[in-house]
Amino acid sequence: MAIAGGNISLDSTEGMDKISDTEKVTTPYFSDGATTLLAASIVSSSLTDTNETYFFGISNSSTPTTEEFNVAFGSSNGYGALVETNTKSETAAIYGQYASLLLAPTEVTGGFFISNNSSLSAAPSSAKLGAGLKDSEIYILSARRSNMKDRLNKGTWTIALSGSQDGGTGDGERNTLLELTDDSVNDSPVATPMGDRYNIVTGSGGTVQSAASVRTFGWFYPDAGIMVFSAAELSSSIPGKSDSVNSVVTFASASQHGLAYTTNTDANYKTALRFVNCLSTANSAAKLTFRDEEDQVSAQYFCRVKSGQMNFSNNPTFVSGSLNELRQTTMKGNPSTFISSVQLYNGAGDMVAVGNLSTPLKKNFSSEATIKVKLTY
């Protein structure tokens, strides 16, 4: 610490001259400073053809070049992509990538076991999930690191998907709303290689409607900013038109507001866009509501100036003459200085912070001072 031209050593041991504290601060997630992105403002970001075989971006129509989230579809069976001999398809690569990223090493080859609904008939297949059967198909929603900061704020978010339950060939009413949130308010997390994991269940803003023991739609990893959804669970709730399942998906298509996925393996069906379409349904209550979370460390340094310290100044106007006598004769015997700033240095001698006092502090041999400097980072 340097004060008034001098140096004083600080004991940076916690509890001595330094006290630190960490506080979790949350702010709106989206780039425009808002907490919610409504359906009417959701567009699919422009991506290269190469990227679109793996994921699509979600943007605000007011800033279409700024991605807020990315959406992907993974299938261990390679559904919805071109499967060639001795080559892993894009959807299979996505499934394997997120399994390797999110699951424990002993679980990677087994895949995701999200759904616990043993009576679920997964559209469009008739396979039952639960009772040891894995989710072979998944939808993934991943946040931008620059938006989420340290993590996504748990217990506050809502994803509202809107689409049709019409399993026939008609247009169907796109008025089915599925609201999802996490269960962190009620249940403890599961420890994973990517931090705590919570269940994605029905509800909004952290308020659970149906517990995970009733139905689990996905897994939420706040530290990674990733949500993995059981495609079977989503497609069971909002299947959409059956005659559009095996069509290549286009953004905002009136007939493709459902989450049932193709089992074809002969082309890129852009299945991930189904998730985007169910968020961007016109005249619906679909939306994304999120807050970010950041760990702010506050360190308070107590700079203690004893009576015999900092009573002289390096300012050349402080003295006069060849003998460097005090310019102000009234200061003889008890010179005074005014402390106006505090500079903090690291062990290498680099200045890392400067604190300016609102009012200069008078200092002489008859006084001591303790100046508290607070740093937040």
For the chain, what is the radius of gyration of the CA atoms? 30
Q: Residues 154, 129: one domain?
A: yes
Is pLDDT at 160 greater than 90 in this prediction?
yes
DSSP E strand boundaries for 183-286: 190-192, 195-204, 207-210, 218-221, 226-230
Q: Residues 243, 301: one domain?
A: no
Q: Residues 284, 345: one domain?
A: no
Q: Residues 109, 124: one domain?
A: yes
CB contact at 8 A, 4 and 310: yes
Mean pLDDT, rounded, for 175-189: 93
Mean pLDDT, rounded, for 331-355: 83
Q: Residues 115, 258: one domain?
A: yes
Q: Residues 166, 276: one domain?
A: yes
Q: Residues 19, 57: one domain?
A: no
| Cα 338 to Cα 181: distance, rounded to the nearest angstrom | 57
264 pLDDT band (50/70/90 cuts)? very high
Q: Residues 16, 65: one domain?
A: no
| Neighbouring C-beta atoms of residue 284, cutoff 10 Å | 21
Is pLDDT at 132 greater than 90 in this prediction?
no
Is pLDDT at 175 greater than 80 in this prediction?
no
Share of the chain above pLDDT 90, in %: 49
Query: What is the Cβ-side half-sphere exposure of residue 71, based on CA atoms within 13 angstroms?
Result: 25
Please give the pLDDT value at position 261: 94
Q: Residues 267, 370: one domain?
A: no
Query: What is the Cβ-side half-sphere exposure of residue 20, based on CA atoms within 13 angstroms?
Result: 12
Q: Residues 102, 250: one domain?
A: yes
Please give the pLDDT value at position 340: 86
Residue 56, both tokens: 């699509």
Count how many domains the chain has.
2
User: Domain boundary residue among 250, 270, 289?
Assistant: 289
Mean pLDDT, rounded, for 354-365: 89
Q: What angle do CA 129, 130, 131 make, to 5 degrees?
A: 130
Is pLDDT at 324 greater than 70 in this prediction?
no
Is pLDDT at 173 greater than 60 in this prediction?
no
Give the residue among 52, 2, 85, 78 at the shortest CA–CA distance from 314: 2
Please give the pLDDT value at position 321: 60
Mean pLDDT, rounded, for 16-42: 93
Q: Residues 13, 122: one domain?
A: no
Please give the pLDDT value at position 155: 97
Please give the pLDDT value at position 325: 65
**pLDDT, tens digit, for every residue of 344-354?**
988 888 998 88
User: Domain boundary residue among 261, 289, 317?
Assistant: 289
Mean pLDDT, rounded, for 259-275: 94
On average, the pLDDT of the chain sits at: 85
Q: Which residue has the higher pLDDT, 147 or 125?
A: 147
Mean pLDDT, rounded, for 193-201: 96
**pLDDT, tens digit, for every residue of 86-121?**
788 999 999 999 999 999 999 998 999 998 765 554
| Cα 39 to Cα 235: distance, rounded to the nearest angstrom | 19
Please give the pLDDT value at position 130: 47
- 124: cis peptide before it, omega within 30°? yes
Look at the alpha carbons of 152, 154, 156, 157 in this order and tell me if their dihedral is positive or negative.
positive
4 pLDDT band (50/70/90 cuts)? very low
**pLDDT, tens digit, for every residue of 268-284?**
999 999 999 999 876 67
Please give the pLDDT value at position 120: 55
46 pLDDT band (50/70/90 cuts)? low
Please give the pLDDT value at position 333: 65
Residue 207, both tokens: 């308020």
User: Domain boundary residue among 260, 289, 318?
Assistant: 289
Please give the pLDDT value at position 326: 67
242 pLDDT band (50/70/90 cuts)? confident
Listed in sequence order, the DSSP H helices in 195-259 are 231-237
Residue 140, both tokens: 């993934």
175 to each of 178, 284, 285, 377, how far by Cα in Å? Answer: 10, 7, 9, 46
Please give the pLDDT value at position 50: 61
Owning domain of residue 219: 30-289
| Cα 5 to Cα 363: distance, rounded to the nearest angstrom | 13
128 pLDDT band (50/70/90 cuts)? very low
- Give the global pTM: 0.78
Q: Residues 80, 107: one domain?
A: yes
